[in-house]
């Protein structure tokens, strides 16, 4: 190829790339991201099983989006439901790495501000296989409702939550093919008043809580679930068979619980609720268990 021809080719490629870049930048600055809200709402609804409300959606660093005012609500309840039955994420960013897309991999990093704290992590997906890591720091449990996952009236906790999760899945839509670890730590807090089969239980204070799960083939080995405190220390071990939705997971657990003398004075009916010899077992679905324990 002659020198003039090469010069024309380089010039043409340069103009073409400049035009493409100008188009992409113009599209980024002028695109109406609100048009994507129904699609994002549908994807999150399918992933969580909750009703979804998004206040605003906008672009973020060319390859991502920012969601402001994301609310997850217990199905069947309005978006304006109480905090016990909803979870509001103040701001969330999702960013897709473009180069992995060229070889068929979806690589998404995310971060979110909610409940006075922050979560961040990433998801790597190729076909049905996926990996995810997540870190949580300084989440105030008083501002996090469990209703969207465990149903209306789920027990409420107070305190500060921190932890991490590392999960891998041969099929992300099938919990029976999940594996990984989850570790959570609770700071000083409380269990809000609730009822056990209609019997009122007073507020339970705790100084620390620990949870550790190891997951393999969809079965979660509950290595540690402890609440330390002056009222009703609790120690549980066992296994959880993960199912979709989450509240249909099957529990096979055993543990010990012991009330302090001071707490027994506040709860005259407690003797009829506590198991003999301070030990108990439970086999059944998470839904059945949470149905017997309701906040009020």
Q: What is the pLDDT of residues 48-84, one digit of tens each?
A: 667 788 887 777 666 667 788 888 776 665 544 555 6
Higher pLDDT, 59 or 194: 194
Can you tell me the distance from the alpha carbon of 114 to that of 111, in angstroms, rounded to the nearest whole number? 10
Residue showing tokens 């809580």:
209
Overall pTM > 0.75: no
CB-based contact 237:254 (threshold 8 Å): yes
Tokens of 147: 């209703």
Residue 26 pLDDT grade (very low, low, confident, very high; cuts 50, 70, 90): very low
C-alpha closest to that of 69 among 108, 41, 31 = 41
């Amino acid at each position: 190829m002659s020198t003039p021809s090469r010069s024309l080719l380089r010039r043409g490629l340069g103009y073409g790339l400049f035009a493409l870049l100008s188009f992409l930048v113009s599209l980024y600055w002028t695109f109406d991201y609100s048009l994507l809200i129904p699609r994002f709402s549908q994807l999150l609804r399918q992933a969580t099983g909750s009703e979804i409300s998004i206040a605003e959606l906008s672009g973020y660093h060319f390859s991502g989006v920012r969601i402001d005012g994301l609310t997850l609500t217990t199905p069947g309840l309005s978006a304006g439901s109480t905090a016990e039955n909803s979870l509001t994420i103040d701001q969330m960013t999702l960013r897709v790495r473009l180069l992995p897309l060229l070889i068929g991999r979806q690589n998404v990093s995310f971060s979110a501000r909610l409940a006075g704290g922050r979560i961040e992590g990433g998801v790597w997906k190729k076909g049905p296989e996926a990996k995810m890591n997540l870190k949580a720091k300084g989440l105030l449990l008083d501002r996090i409702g469990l209703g969207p996952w465990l149903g209306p009236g789920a027990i409420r906790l107070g305190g500060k939550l921190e932890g991490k999760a590392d999960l891998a899945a041969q099929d992300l839509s099938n919990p029976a093919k999940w594996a990984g670890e989850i570790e959570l730590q609770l700071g000083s807090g409380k269990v809000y008043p609730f009822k056990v089969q209609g019997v009122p239980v007073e507020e339970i204070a705790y100084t620390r809580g620990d949870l550790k799960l190891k997951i393999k083939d969809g079965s979660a080995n509950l290595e540690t679930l402890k609440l330390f405190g002056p009222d009703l220390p609790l120690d549980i071990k066992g296994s959880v068979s993960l199912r979709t939705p989450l509240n249909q997971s099957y529990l096979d657990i055993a543990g010990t619980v012991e009330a302090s003398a001071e707490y027994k004075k506040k709860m005259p009916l407690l003797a009829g609720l506590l198991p003999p010899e301070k030990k108990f077992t439970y086999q059944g679905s998470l839904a059945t268990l949470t149905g017997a324990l309701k906040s009020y």
